[in-house]
Amino acid sequence: MKNLKDKNLFREAGLIGGEWVAAGSGRTIDVVDPATQVAIGTVPDMAGTEARAAIEAAASAYGSWKKKTNAERAGLLEAWHGLMLKHLDDLALILTTEQGKPLDEAKGEIRYGASFVKWFAEEARRINGHTIPSPTQDRRIIVLKEPVGVCGIITPWNFPNAMITRKVAPALAAGCTVVIKPSEFTPYSALALGVLAEQAGIPAGVINIVTGMPAEIGNEIMANETVRKISFTGSTHVGSLLMRGAADSVKRLSLELGGNAPFIIFDDADLDLAVEGALVSKFRNGGQTCVCANRILVQAGVYETFAAKLSARVNALTIGPGTQPGVAIGPMINMAAIEKINRHVEDALAKGAAIITEKPVLPEGRQYVAPMVLSGATTDMQLAGEETFGPVAPLFRFETEEEAIALANGTPYGLASYFYTENLKRAWRVGEALEFGMVGLNTGSVSMEVAPFGGVKLSGLGREGAQAGIEEYLEMKSFHMGGL
């Protein structure tokens, strides 16, 4: 790991009020490379005291950050964006080493993460209020947009760069200051972003980063009245816990939670396009994405053909460490992930599914799973009800459009959904019938900075990206001028 540690972007300390600091207790946690299970280094195991100090630092930076002109804040975000692209290779290497995804995908994530910084730098210049026609002649009414205040930003391990920039960029653009609690599995990507923010000239205290195990840090962020908003991406379980914890201090919340995406192939689909889309949607990041196809629903007339085409492509995927050229499937994040995937596959096999892909020789290391296609999946299987979060593509057979829609919507989650058809009328019918925050028609990807990203039902509250993304960090103030 010497190589990585030589890099200026690699920090093993938290960031509070512009100081790089250890935990008051002196405790640290190891950060492990999922490809080797060897510790890359340590980060401070901070707790409530450090979270409180970070919140205070964010509060004291807030007044002057909020007073900067929008153009000044935009300029600093532009500088941060430029540095992310300049250091793309180093950021990607840090990301792959702590998270496991193939290096090319990590580079894609850095570009995607940086795109939010650029987008919200531009949006900062367009935080426009509006005027309201007064019901009486002696009054004028205007609506001002103001920042929410100090925000708690809690992020997962599967996109350790982009899940931060998708929140921090709009927060900063709006005039908020932040305390980031990155996943304990992937803190180095967050800390590297902190180094670049400093280099960009973003003032001390505007971005604070508290590393460590989540419970005590989370409790402080939830309870502290100075924090006016929590933006969280992660599991539905932790999201609902944060919602309860934030209730006493009546904080605003954005919750980007789990999904259970259906991926529907109708018998009038372009099958080659559908196979490409399924590969992207299902196998990117080893299937560890909230928007990944969890249930692939295939109409009976094309079921066998689609299964054969997809299996051929899956058989050709290379498994190995993310830093190895040509690798498509890296290691899974940890052993708990492997156990869940194995449990889902064993349950499916016991209930009548069959693996129709070849069994590859897995590389050294315990955290690899063979990518596979399972035929004969049914709704009583665990993988139909929960996110598998791994490279397992279960194929469900359906006969009619009504059946497909009922199957697709038969989940309490509502994040992403996908369907393939060449029929225009069906495209509208199905697109409107799917109860999800995002629908992809003839595409396996639905995330980009220009469009609102988010879910309905158990998949969460609020939207990220697009124009909507900055509103999540703005309050409206009605300003009435009377006696005119």
Instruction: Please count the residues of the chain.
Output: 484
Burial class (CB in 10 A: 0-12, 13-18, 19+), 215: exposed
**Residue 253 in the binding site for ligand NAD (CB under 6 A):** no
Cβ proximity to ligand NAD, 87 vs 463, nearer residue:
463
**Residue 116 in the binding site for ligand NAD (CB under 6 A):** no
Cβ proximity to ligand NAD, 31 vs 76, nearer residue:
31
Residues 415 and 259: their CA atoms lie apart, in Å, by: 5
- Residues 419 and 267 sit within 8 Å (Cβ to Cβ): no
Size of the site for ligand NAD (CB under 6 A): 27
**Residue 44 in the binding site for ligand NAD (CB under 6 A):** no
**Residue 215 in the binding site for ligand NAD (CB under 6 A):** yes
**Residue 449 in the binding site for ligand NAD (CB under 6 A):** no
Name residue, tokens 């650029």: 118
**Residue 259 in the binding site for ligand NAD (CB under 6 A):** yes
Taking CA atoms, 124 is separated from 74, 149, 166, 227, 406, in Å, by 6, 16, 14, 22, 42
Scan residues 270-299 and list those touching ligand NAD (CB under 6 A): 290
Instruction: Supply 385's token pair.
Output: 């009800």
Cβ proximity to ligand NAD, 217 vs 356, nearer residue:
217
Q: Which stretch binds ligand NAD (CB under 6 A): 96-104, 114-122, 178-186, 340-348?
A: 178-186
Exposure string for 32-45, b = 16+ CB within 10 A, e = fewer: bbbbeeeebbbbbb
Q: What angle do CA 376, 382, 387 make, to 5 degrees?
A: 105
Cβ proximity to ligand NAD, 241 vs 271, nearer residue:
241
Chain-centroid distance of CA 151 in Å reads 17
Cβ proximity to ligand NAD, 204 vs 338, nearer residue:
338
DSSP state letter for 62:
H
Amino acid at 231: S
Catalytic residue, candidates 56, 98, 256, 464: 256
Residues 321 and 311: their CA atoms lie apart, in Å, by: 22
Q: Binding mask 312-331 vs ligand NAD (x if CB under 6 A, - otherwise)?
A: --------------------
Residue from 102, 113, 218, 321 binding ligand NAD (CB under 6 A) = 218
Residue from 257, 381, 393, 405 binding ligand NAD (CB under 6 A) = 257
- Residues 458 and 413 sit within 8 Å (Cβ to Cβ): yes
Burial class (CB in 10 A: 0-12, 13-18, 19+), 5: exposed
Residues 332 and 366: their CA atoms lie apart, in Å, by: 9
User: Active-site residue 98, yes or no?
Assistant: no
Residues 384 and 393: their CA atoms lie apart, in Å, by: 11
Cβ proximity to ligand NAD, 100 vs 258, nearer residue:
258
**Residue 156 in the binding site for ligand NAD (CB under 6 A):** yes
**Residue 143 in the binding site for ligand NAD (CB under 6 A):** no
Min dist. Cβ of residue 41 to ligand NAD (A): 18
**Residue 154 in the binding site for ligand NAD (CB under 6 A):** yes
**Residue 214 in the binding site for ligand NAD (CB under 6 A):** yes
**Residue 238 in the binding site for ligand NAD (CB under 6 A):** yes
Min dist. Cβ of residue 58 to ligand NAD (A): 17
**Residue 216 in the binding site for ligand NAD (CB under 6 A):** no
Instruction: Supply 322's token pair.
Output: 């993310």
Instruction: Supply 341's token pair.
Output: 């995937």
Which residues are marked as active site? Answer: 256
Interface residues with ligand NAD (CB under 6 A) are 154-159, 163, 181, 183-184, 214-215, 218, 233-235, 238, 241, 256-259, 290, 387, 415, 455, 460
